[in-house]
């Protein structure tokens, strides 16, 4: 965690306080996935590549998709699927209201079963990385978790580091269904936005997955998402 500033409000970290006021949990409401576009599962999927986190998505739009139109969108799940050559499919995910990650993954069940390989790429701040070694943390680093053989030249994510989000959910689902074909890449970056240095790590993973990169010399806007201190 980065150093605290004077006067900064620190929220209690205990998970016990989450939903503390919920004496009664709400009744379960079944939400139906609302797809827009062509959601038909292709006959062949060589690789299904899931990308989450805003910074990776910005890079993908600039370097890989470049004005590509999505095949379909999950309107109440923050999901968009794009087709690439060679039966590769990119799935972009952003957390939103509606379905949670578990429900999103279940709605993609047929895609997951059809795919020969499943990859998920997520990012986290390098400050959240629990370094088990007696050396300084690098500016960016890549770790892998997989339920098949680790054929990539990246280290396995060391304990006690944990990953959450859609990537974690996918890997959990594949383990549970005994689908031994899912690999999760965690890219630790030292900034909240990508610059030319940290984007190299993401592009490196994309290249290893044989994703065609149309434009690797891109300018990524580092404008913040809010108007505080503009």
Residues interacting with another protein, by CB under 8 A? 14-20, 22-29, 100-103, 105-106, 109, 130-137, 145-147, 150, 156-169, 171-173, 175-178, 184
Check if the beta carbon of residue 72 is closer than 8 Å to that of residue 64. no
DSSP H helices, 166-211, are 166-176, 198-208
Least separation in angstroms between residue 57's CB and another protein is 19
170 vs 211, beta carbon nearer another protein: 170
Query: Exposed e or buried b for every residue in 179-211, given b needs 16+ CB within 10 A?
Result: bebbbbbbbbbbeebbeeebbebbbebbeebeb
Least separation in angstroms between residue 162's CB and another protein is 4
Check if the beta carbon of residue 141 is closer than 8 Å to that of residue 130. no
Least separation in angstroms between residue 113's CB and another protein is 11
Least separation in angstroms between residue 37's CB and another protein is 23
63 vs 167, beta carbon nearer another protein: 167
Check if the beta carbon of residue 175 is closer than 8 Å to that of residue 183. no
Least separation in angstroms between residue 225's CB and another protein is 24
99 vs 194, beta carbon nearer another protein: 99
181 vs 193, beta carbon nearer another protein: 181
Rounded CA separation 74/77 (Å) = 5
Burial class (CB in 10 A: 0-12, 13-18, 19+), 46: middle
Rounded CA separation 170/183 (Å) = 9
Residue with tokens 């509606």: 98
184 vs 206, beta carbon nearer another protein: 184
Tokens of 2: 């980065």
43 vs 134, beta carbon nearer another protein: 134
Least separation in angstroms between residue 128's CB and another protein is 12
Check if the beta carbon of residue 124 is closer than 8 Å to that of residue 165. no
């Amino acid at each position: 965690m980065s150093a605290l500033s004077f006067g900064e409000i620190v929220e209690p970290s205990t998970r016990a306080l989450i939903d503390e006021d919920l004496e009664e949990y709400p009744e379960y409401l079944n939400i139906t996935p609302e797809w827009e576009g062509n959601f038909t599962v292709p006959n062949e999927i060589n690789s299904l590549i899931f990308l989450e986190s805003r910074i990776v998505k910005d890079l993908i739009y600039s370097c890989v998709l470049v004005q590509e139109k999505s095949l379909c969108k999950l309107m109440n799940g923050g999901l968009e699927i794009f087709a690439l050559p060679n039966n590769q499919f990119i799935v972009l995910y952003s957390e939103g209201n509606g379905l949670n990650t578990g429900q999103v993954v279940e709605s993609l069940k047929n895609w997951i079963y059809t795919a020969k390989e499943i990859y998920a790429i997520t990012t986290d701040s390098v400050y959240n990385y629990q370094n088990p070694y007696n050396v300084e943390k690098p500016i960016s680093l890549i770790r892998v978790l997989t339920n098949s053989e680790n054929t990539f030249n990246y280290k396995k994510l060391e304990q006690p580091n944990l990953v959450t989000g859609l990537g974690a959910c996918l890997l959990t689902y594949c383990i549970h269904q005994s689908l031994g074909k899912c690999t999760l890449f965690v890219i630790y970056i030292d900034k909240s936005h990508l610059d030319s240095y940290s984007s190299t790590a993401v592009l490196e993973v994309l290249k290893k997955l044989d994703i065609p990169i149309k434009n690797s010399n891109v300018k990524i806007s580092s404008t913040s998402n809010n108007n505080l201190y503009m």
